[in-house]
Amino acid sequence: MANGLSASEQIAGGRAASHRWKILGVGFAANASFSAAFSGIPTTAIYLRSGYHLGNEGLGVVLGMLGLGIAVSELPWGLLTDRWGDRRVLLLGLLSTAAALVCLALFAAPFGSHVPRLTTLALGLLLVGLLGGSVNGSSGRAVMAWFREGERGLAMSIRQTAVPAGGGLGALVLPALASRFGFASVYAVLALACAITAAFAWRWLHEPTHIGNRDARAAHSGGAQAAGAALGADVGNAVGVADVEDVAGVANAANPANAAADAVNAVHTAGAAGAVVAAPAARPADPAHSPRATSRSPLREIGIWRVALGAGALCVPQLAVLTFGTVFLHDFGHADVLTISIAMAAVQAGAAIARVWSGRWTDQRGNRRAYMRGCSLLTALLFAALTLFSGVAGMQHAPATMMTMILAPMIVLGGVSASAWHGVAFTELATLAGTNRAGTALAIGNTCVFLTLFLTPLAIPPLLSLGSWPMVWAVASFCALIALPVFPRAVRNGTMPVTRACDAA
């Protein structure tokens, strides 16, 4: 009995099933380390302008380079992750990103009277983005591989929480470092974080080879029916024609009393004819492993592209806050540096909490698509309100203190709403593609997201020259509204893809 129970909690290679939490910790740390760079560096925008002698246009170019590098490299890194595995790609990406940041600290940081050229800084940040793009897909694929359906939404949301967590930490630490010790210290601290995370990845990150719980249950019970059902699942997986667990789910729903006997009979049938067999219904069907989820390349799945494009559109208001929120609060809201740092940290902290909650909530209700659509509508309304108030405040010349007290909370609420859906969306992407191709699907999503990170800071300075800040927030609201029809609608049985076995039934 003890042997059977222990077998059910083991992963091939002697690692306990609880090891998946270490994998999640590595994924969290990797995303937080890189997020501290691509989300934290924009919070130093005021010091970037003064330290590098930049205008708003030059600032937009510099901040956009990080997003461009990530957007260009995400898909190649994702394809490479599905081919090489999570461990190799994550280690290569973290170590090379750390090296690029060290080069920035040595050759692209202002020192004394020396001010690096805009081109040097832009190319350095572009390189950081190109190398750091490896982190997103590889860490996400590892988490999807180690967690099962029913807990993946929570796990992926915790992993995605690392983005605002790292960004929030960067918002608190990097501006202080930039103002007191210069940008060399900013880049050096970020490089150290990536190197430390690489050490944890080297120690803990491994590809899982699961010993199925059904095999452990068969060994524990010793019953012929349970053993036959487990064998049926193994034969079905070996044949690979249909999702054996879905077949069992249909059979057991129709006649639970005969489910085990049907599975045993199916084993003998498969042995004679090589057909697909049924599996026990002790575990629900896992759509991320279904044949439909893995039968086609994610690049050819319209559902994946709709989620990715909707995510890209919904990122516009989020990234407008992250890249130029500090400038808005400083120039338009007349807020001091402490207030700005607290507001930006609150955006990241609120987004982190919202992502964890949303992952758990959508796991319980199976409503990922409806949640994403709801976030797009709420975000559009919040930024429309910000547009209205900033327009009225600009015309009425409201007192600086009152503007700060109202604008800072509005920025926080809009930023949180525009960030809360990330874990849910990336869980949906990976589920639609299947675990074996999750790296590619996550890369598609991240490509759209970080292409937005490139375009948004480039678009804001021209919008400022045309219509000031109300124009910026109006465009952000419109982009959030665009995401509503782009996101796919929820299917009748929830957001999970329907497998072939169920279609046949």
Which of 165, 167, 134, 140 lies closest to 155 in space, CA to CA? 140
Both tokens assigned to 39: 């989300």
Q: What share of the chain is helix, strand, coil (3-state, %, to 5)?
A: 80, 0, 15
* Contact assessment for residue 156 and residue 41, using Cβ atoms and an 8 Å cutoff: no
Both tokens assigned to 137: 């897909």
Which of 353, 354, 330 lies closest to 343 in space, CA to CA? 330
Q: Which residues contact 466 (CB under 8 A, 6 or more apart)?
A: none
Place of tokens 């976030």: 375
Number of continuous H segments (helices) and E segments (strands) in the chain: 21, 2
Query: Using CA atoms, how far apart are residues 391 and 384, in angstroms rounded to an integer?
Result: 11
* Contact assessment for residue 345 and residue 171, using Cβ atoms and an 8 Å cutoff: yes
Both tokens assigned to 240: 């690979």
Both tokens assigned to 53: 């002698």
Question: What local confidence, expressed as pLDDT, does residue 295 receive?
Answer: 55
Question: What local confidence, expressed as pLDDT, does residue 412 receive?
Answer: 94
* Contact assessment for residue 369 and residue 490, using Cβ atoms and an 8 Å cutoff: yes
For 395, how many CA atoms within 13 A lie in the half-sphere containing its CB?
7
**How deeply is 38 buried, as exposed, middle or buried, from its count of CB atoms within 10 A (0-12, 13-18, 19+)?**
buried
Q: Are strands 10-11 and 15-16 parallel, antiparallel or unpaired?
A: antiparallel
Per-residue pLDDT of the chain (505 residues; tens, 9 = 90+): 444 334 334 444 446 667 878 888 888 898 899 989 888 898 888 899 889 998 888 888 888 888 888 888 888 888 888 888 888 888 999 999 999 999 999 999 998 788 899 999 999 999 999 999 888 767 777 777 778 777 777 887 788 778 778 888 888 899 889 988 999 999 999 999 999 999 999 988 876 665 344 333 333 344 344 334 433 444 344 333 333 333 333 334 334 444 444 444 443 444 444 433 333 344 444 444 444 444 567 888 899 999 999 999 999 999 899 888 988 998 888 888 888 888 988 988 898 899 889 988 988 888 899 999 999 999 999 999 999 998 888 777 666 677 788 899 999 999 999 999 988 998 898 888 887 787 788 889 888 988 887 889 889 989 988 878 999 999 999 999 999 999 998 765 544 443 333 333 3
Q: What is the three-state SS of 41-79? A: HHHHHHHHHHHCCCCHHHHHHHHHHHHHHHHHHHHHHHH
Question: What local confidence, expressed as pLDDT, does residue 427 receive?
Answer: 87
Which of 159, 143, 161 lies closest to 420 in space, CA to CA? 161
Q: Which residues contact 134 (CB under 8 A, 6 or more apart)?
A: 73, 77, 80, 81, 89, 90, 92, 93, 94, 96, 97
Question: What local confidence, expressed as pLDDT, does residue 437 receive?
Answer: 81
Q: How many other β-carbons are positioned within 10 Å of the β-carbon of residue 126?
A: 22
Q: Tell me which amino acid residue 163 is.
A: V
Residue 279, Cα to own-chain centre: how many angstroms?
33
* Contact assessment for residue 27 and residue 143, using Cβ atoms and an 8 Å cutoff: yes
Q: Which domains does the chain have, with CATH numbers?
A: 2-209+293-486 (1.20.1250.20), 224-241+244-284 (no CATH)
* Contact assessment for residue 457 and residue 350, using Cβ atoms and an 8 Å cutoff: no
Question: What local confidence, expressed as pLDDT, does residue 291 receive?
Answer: 40
Question: What local confidence, expressed as pLDDT, does residue 16 receive?
Answer: 62
Query: Using CA atoms, how far apart are residues 316 and 449, in angstroms rounded to an integer?
Result: 9
Q: Tell me which amino acid residue 432 is.
A: L
Length of the chain: 505
Phi (first) and psi of residue 114, to 5 degrees:
-85, 125
Question: What local confidence, expressed as pLDDT, does residue 403 receive?
Answer: 79
